[in-house]
Homo-oligomer: A and B are copies of this chain.
């Protein structure tokens, strides 16, 4: 092998269709693992992933508006509304009319909602922690870099927002 071009051959090595396919399948199988633990917990509460996502981001941004949540989750208001309604009815989420703008509803987790959120995120963090430990610190940096590069620009904006506030 001619190693004179070093950097160049190395940066092409992992771009074969085979290597890319492995990355694609790794995403598929890993995402299943990623959601498996919360899914089991949600089953007990007769909730689904949609509820998990709502609870997660209401916890991340307490007092967020419905519109804000819609932008983050990328679903229609009808779809989100169905989920929010059940969460509110069950006393996991509180919806407060805005003070400045009374059209807006600000969303908060109740204590019960926060408890479910902790239960879900603890399970998911546990899996993430185990994977991080197994792969090592340098792998984690690379993992995050590739994921961020894979996002759509809009999603990346939401991600960066979430990154700043609190981390």
Whole-angstrom CA separation of A138 from B148 in the bound complex:
15
- Contact in complex: B29, A155 (CB < 8 Å): yes
- Contact in complex: A13, B147 (CB < 8 Å): no
Within 8 Å CB of A128, what residues of B?
20, 23-24, 150
- Contact in complex: B141, A21 (CB < 8 Å): no
- Contact in complex: A148, B26 (CB < 8 Å): yes
Instruction: Report A111-167 residues with CB < 8 Å from chain B CB.
Output: 121, 124-125, 127-152, 155-156, 158-159, 162-163, 166-167
Cβ of A101 under 8 Å from chain B: no
Within 8 Å CB of A19, what residues of B?
167
Cβ of A47 under 8 Å from chain B: no
Copies of this subunit: 2
- Contact in complex: A146, B132 (CB < 8 Å): yes
- Contact in complex: B167, A136 (CB < 8 Å): no
- Contact in complex: B14, A132 (CB < 8 Å): yes
Whole-angstrom CA separation of A59 from B102 in the bound complex:
54
Whole-angstrom CA separation of A60 from B29 in the bound complex:
15
Q: Which residue of B lies closest to A14 (CB)?
A: B140
- Contact in complex: B32, A147 (CB < 8 Å): no
Whole-angstrom CA separation of A149 from B30 in the bound complex:
8
Within 8 Å CB of A156, what residues of B?
29
